[in-house]
Structure 1
Amino acid sequence: MANGGKTAGGKQLAGQPRWIVWGAALSLLALLTMSVWTATMWRRAPMPGAQRIEVTIPQGASIGQAADILEKAGVIESSEAFELLARTIGDKRDIQYGTYGFFEGEGWGSILERMKRGDTLIVRIPIPEGMPSIQVAERLNGVGRLEGRVEAPAEGTVLPATYEAKIGEKRADVLKRMQAAMTKELDGLWERRSENIAVKSRDEAVILAAIVEKETGDPSERRRIAGLYTNRLKAGMRLQADPTVIYPVTKGKPLRRGIRQSELRADNGYNTYVRDGLPQGPITNPGRESLAAVLDPEVHDYLYMVADGTGGHAFARTYEEHQENVRKWRAYRREKGI
């Protein structure tokens, strides 16, 4: 009996290690399988032509909440596994809110990195040089997939450039960036201003630069025209700039007709045919080059200019020279049937 107990006991002692070994082996195999799967999910690349899936991560979302959103959208297969890997493998940077365009089958590591980098879908908003504020607001309000609306900002406060905005971003925040860009650019140019300027402040620089912007479509003329207006201001002459006549009529939009005599005589705070010095405010949003031209104008003794039919201007030092240039301009218009 003692021998039988030993035999039975021997079978149990011999059997237990085998089950432990098999269990450990199966656990190790499962762990290795999971490791290979997660590594594959982390590093895989989407197939060519993979569908793009748009996903919006709300502001303040945790990595777990983001993972749930990604799984629900079909971007990842397991929110739990993604969160675990993101917390163990990923760095400490927070994820950024916004709308993303992830590709079907994209690696989880790539997805996490893009969310931490804030690589969201964007819209581009071009603001060309010389676009008046009323049209800046119209353009910004016309861009889809942004939030809210904006009113026309103060004239001359927006720096013309191409701006990027996150999908779902507030239009008011985009406008603030445009205005902050103008302030920064103007401050830098003002610090480097030359001594040969007629403006006494940043505000005056914007006012004169707006006139220069509207007067020519030829970038090479900007400093010369800035120098001409600088000379007239220093000499106490009226600027007599046609764009200052048009602005009160259209708020900067194209007039699409000739200027009327009544408009040339209108005393409205902008018309530099009847007003001494600068107009009361900017007539558009000048670009960087026009601002730079006003703060470093070309040094010359020109006081007059008129269009020459090439998109540029003929410049003159005396009124007599100017009258001859005017006659040539009128003859050109008659020849072209204008």
Structure 2
Amino acid sequence: MRRFLRIAGAAFAALAFLAAAGAGWAWHRFQSPGPLVEQAQLVIPRGGTEAIAAALRRAGVIEEPRLFTLATLATRGDGPLRAAEFAFPPGASMAQVLDILRTARPVQRRVTIPEGLTARQIAALLTRTEGLTGELPAFAEGAVLPETYAYSWGDDRSGLLRRAESAMLQALSEAWSARAGNLPLATPREALVLASIVERETSVAEERPRVAAVFLNRLRAGMPLQSDPTVAYAAADGAPLDRPLSRADLDRDHPFNTYKVRGLPPAPIAAPGLAALRAVTRPAATEDLYFVADGSGGHAFARTLEEHNRNVARWREIERRRGAGL
């Protein structure tokens, strides 16, 4: 009997030793650096621990999916694993990986909507933006504020669009509230329409208040705006025009042809940025009524038709020399 007890005691001690050794090995592997060589961003799928472990293994974040599954089970009290896009540092241990999946902030992606795009162009941009999901609802021209928007993998396109529309409403409201006195604009909507024209007329930031002033002065004088971008918008039916304007375009009867129709067109022609909104509501103090390209990327401004004609002649000479390769 004593011999049996000695043998049983030895066996129990051996099992205890093996269990302790196994636990020590598992803890060592749990805390040891993993195989990831450099930082990686990975979209963690839905589907349970095994699917997550397989994705981590394929990406080189972990080596042993079974050990990861056991570690997840052993630490389940720390919370569930989340399906999202996460960044994993080089050599992330299994403990770090589990902590990231449970508590880390998902990767913040960004999409930039540039100033001056049409609704069609913005829709195409958001449709092809990687990581966004769902259909994109229809939206009005000029309804979206050009800006850089943060989003996470799996976010809905309609949600991002609503944020961009809300941003435009706020920006327009703020610009209108801070507007100068005696503007020939009756509503924020009219300011938005004119800002879209200013946005398309010049990409030179410091020119925008002066370009806006020209159009506002023309509105006060009852003159047609004569804005080429509005004619181009009409000619291409809201899409980018891939050719020069023609005489037929300028002579066409269309609500957006500001050579033929006095006043503002019925809607924006693009998405204006903050600077264009501010330029229209806080224009430069000038009596200018005309402007034309000056060959340097900007424009030459004039108060009188005579001065404008001289500027036009200079611009045509610049174009002639460029065409001749001089």
Tell me, yes or no, if structure 1 residue 128 matches structure 2 residue 128.
no
Kindly state the Cα deviation for residue 36 of structure 1 after the two structures are TM-superposed. 7.6
Tell me, yes or no, if structure 1 residue 301 matches structure 2 residue 287.
yes
1:51-92, Cα deviation, whole Å (9 max, x unpaired): 95844344xx8xxx4x4433343345233432443524x6xx
C-alpha distance in structure 2 between counterparts of 1:319 and 1:53, whole Å: 60
1:194 is paired with a residue of what secondary structure?
coil
1:173-208, Cα deviation, whole Å (9 max, x unpaired): 333333233233333333333335433332222211
C-alpha distance in structure 1 between counterparts of 2:259 and 2:162, whole Å: 34
Kindly state the Cα deviation for residue 231 of structure 1 after the two structures are TM-superposed. 1.8
Residue in structure 2 matched with residue 78 of structure 1 by the alignment = 68
Equivalence map 1:1-338=2 (5 Å) = 19=9, 30=19, 34=23, 37-38=26-27, 41=30, 44-47=32-35, 49=37, 52=40, 54-58=42-46, 65=48, 67-73=49-55, 74=57, 75=62, 77-85=67-75, 87-88=77-78, 96-100=82-86, 102=88, 106-115=92-101, 116-120=103-107, 122=109, 124-150=110-136, 153-195=139-181, 197-337=183-323
C-alpha distance in structure 1 between counterparts of 2:264 and 2:13, whole Å: 87
Number of residue pairs matched?
314
C-alpha distance in structure 2 between counterparts of 1:104 and 1:49, whole Å: 5
- Do the aligned partners of residues 138 and 25 (structure 1) sit closer, same or farther apart at CA in structure 2, a change above 3 Å counting? same
The residue type paired with residue 305 of structure 2 is Y
C-alpha distance in structure 2 between counterparts of 1:194 and 1:110, whole Å: 56
C-alpha distance in structure 2 between counterparts of 1:215 and 1:299, whole Å: 19
1:217 is paired with a residue of what secondary structure?
coil
1:100-144, Cα deviation, whole Å (9 max, x unpaired): 45578623443344343442474x433221111111122222334
Q: Contact 2:144 / 2:271 at 8 angstroms: preserved in 1?
A: yes
Kindly state the Cα deviation for residue 315 of structure 1 after the two structures are TM-superposed. 0.6
- Do the aligned partners of residues 102 and 264 (structure 1) sit closer, same or farther apart at CA in structure 2, a change above 3 Å counting? same
The two structures have a TM-score, normalised by structure 2, of 0.79
C-alpha distance in structure 1 between counterparts of 2:177 and 2:34, whole Å: 51
C-alpha distance in structure 1 between counterparts of 2:23 and 2:138, whole Å: 57
The percentage of aligned residue pairs carrying the same residue is 35
The residue type paired with residue 237 of structure 1 is M
Range moving further from structure 2, 103-112 or 150-159: 103-112
C-alpha distance in structure 2 between counterparts of 1:258 and 1:334, whole Å: 16
Kindly state the Cα deviation for residue 319 of structure 1 after the two structures are TM-superposed. 1.8
- Do the aligned partners of residues 102 and 152 (structure 1) sit closer, same or farther apart at CA in structure 2, a change above 3 Å counting? same
Kindly state the Cα deviation for residue 292 of structure 1 after the two structures are TM-superposed. 1.8
2:213 is paired with a residue of what secondary structure?
helix
C-alpha distance in structure 1 between counterparts of 2:13 and 2:226, whole Å: 93
- Do the aligned partners of residues 70 and 241 (structure 1) sit closer, same or farther apart at CA in structure 2, a change above 3 Å counting? same
Kindly state the Cα deviation for residue 298 of structure 1 after the two structures are TM-superposed. 1.2
- Do the aligned partners of residues 199 and 37 (structure 1) sit closer, same or farther apart at CA in structure 2, a change above 3 Å counting? farther
Q: Contact 2:43 / 2:83 at 8 angstroms: preserved in 1?
A: no
2:159 is paired with a residue of what secondary structure?
helix
C-alpha distance in structure 2 between counterparts of 1:53 and 1:282, whole Å: 40
- Do the aligned partners of residues 36 and 215 (structure 1) sit closer, same or farther apart at CA in structure 2, a change above 3 Å counting? same
2:75 is paired with a residue of what secondary structure?
helix
Q: Contact 2:251 / 2:260 at 8 angstroms: preserved in 1?
A: yes
C-alpha distance in structure 2 between counterparts of 1:260 and 1:304, whole Å: 21
The two structures have a TM-score, normalised by structure 1, of 0.76
C-alpha distance in structure 2 between counterparts of 1:304 and 1:212, whole Å: 13
1:146-167, Cα deviation, whole Å (9 max, x unpaired): 4344366311012223334433
